[in-house]
Structure formats: C-alpha cells, structure tokens
Chains A and B, each alone.
Chain A
Amino acid sequence: GEDVEQSLFLSVREGDSSVINCTYTDSSSTYLYWYKQEPGAGLQLLTYIFSNMDMKQDQRLTVLLNKKDKHLSLRIADTQTGDSAIYFCAETAGGFKTIFGAGTRLFVKA
C-alpha cells in the first residue's frame, strides 16, 4: 500500500539551511505536499509540487522532487527560530485520501 517515510528529528543552528527529506512508495502520486504544524495547532499547507515538476522555489523554501527515486525534500534557507515546528510530507494520487508521513520535528538553536 501507500507509505510515506521521513526522519523524526532535525536540529540546525539559526541562519543555517535545513533540509528535510521524505520518501514515498506510490508511483502514481500526482501531488506532493509539505505541511507545517506549530505547537498546539493543526497542520497548515506550506507548499506543494506537482509530480511533473522537479523543483519549486517559494522565497526561503525549495522543494526538490526525484520521481525516479520517489524522494522529496524541503530546504529552508536561513532557518529562523520561528521555523521550529513539525513538518509533514504528504502525497495524494488524486483520490480521496492524503497519505501523511510521521512528521519531522525541526529544532532551531539560537
């Protein structure tokens, strides 16, 4: 069945770049997403990429997609303490369900 995997923790220093990685198994995935969850809150969409793209940039965020390896990454440039949160990778094959990874908790040290 479909599965999305990501590492559970990442720690970076303020000002450095963060790279959060994700792998997925569903080769028919059409959209891949990154959601951000701040403490005590629900998930909010950060960015997404369509499966026919291999890169998308949005200000400090860069999403890279390697469809052959089914690997998705999120790079946050100039990481700030406000970026500390849990980041969820998710995919949908266009059906009713969105499959989420377990979430990567990003710690940003001042």
Chain B
Amino acid sequence: NAGVTQTPKFRVLKTGQSMTLLCAQDMNHEYMYWYRQDPGMGLRLIHYSVGEGTTAKGEVPDGYNVSRLKKQNFLLGLESAAPSQTSVYFCASRPDRGLSMNTEAFFGQGTRLTVV
C-alpha cells in the first residue's frame, strides 16, 4: 500500500519563484490536509479539503493556494515563494466516518522546501 505520497521530497526555490507540491492518496479518503512544520510550532494547518472539488482555509493560508480536482490528489501551490515559506510540508488524509468515530490521519513523508 502506498498510502499518502508527496512529491517532491526536497526543493530549493529562489524568492519569487512558483511551485506546486503534489499529494496523492490511494485510500479513498474524503478529507485531505496540508500542514507546515516549523521548529517549536508543531503542525499548522494551511488548507484542507473535505471532498473532491472543495477546499477551505486553515490556520495559515496566506501565500498558498490549493486544488482538489480529483479525490485522490490535493495540490498545494506557492505562487511567489518567500523565505518565510521555508519549512517542511506534510500532507495528510483521513476517512469520513462521521462525527462520533475515531478517524486516524495518515501522513506523507514530507517535502522539505527551502526558499533562498
């Protein structure tokens, strides 16, 4: 089982460049998330999606855009990269089992992005 796959694993960008991070899951999960992880700050939610064709803002959405054209893919775009976006980015997915059921989140391996 592939689970949640993120590409690329590493990237160095110059300030002002754009890029797209791809997240793919093969578990037919409804919910998908993009987090960034910075030292001492844990995981902060950037954007999330509750189903194909839907997206919503998380805690730190500025400077990022997302799309969920297919259920299995969730793309994170940086239109004009800034050094403050240097971080490790994690994608996660989880199934929709209703409000009263435990639903574990499955994480990708992360993308380490450096903006110089």
A residues with CB within 8 A of B: 4, 8, 30-31, 33, 40-45, 48, 50, 88, 92, 94-98, 100-103
Quick one: closest A residue to B112, CB to CB? A40
Contact A101–B100 (Cβ < 8 Å): no
Contact of B76 with A by CB under 8 A? no
Contact of B74 with A by CB under 8 A? no
- A37 to B41 Cα, complex, angstroms: 14
| Ranked 4 nearest A-B pairs via Cβ | A42-B107, A94-B99, A102-B42, A100-B43
- A97 to B47 Cα, complex, angstroms: 10
B: interface residue count bin? 20 to 34
Number of A-B contacts (CB under 8 A): 54
CB-contact partner of B107 in A33, A43, A95, A102, under 8 A: A43
Contact of B105 with A by CB under 8 A? yes
Interface string of B82-116 (1 = CB under 8 A from A): 00000000101010001110111101111000000
Q: List 12 A-B contacts (CB under 8 A).
A: A8-B40, A33-B104, A40-B109, A42-B108, A43-B90, A45-B105, A96-B31, A97-B33, A97-B45, A100-B35, A101-B42, A103-B42
Contact of B4 with A by CB under 8 A? yes
**Which of A41, A50, A92, A98 gathers most chain B CB within 10 Å?**
A98
B residues with CB within 8 A of A: 4, 31, 33, 35, 40-43, 45, 48, 50, 56, 58, 90, 92, 94, 98-100, 102-105, 107-110
Interface of A (DSSP majority class): loop
Given known A42-B90, A43-B107, A102-B42, contact A31–B102 (CB-CB < 8 A): yes
- List B contacts of A98 (CB < 8 A): 94, 105
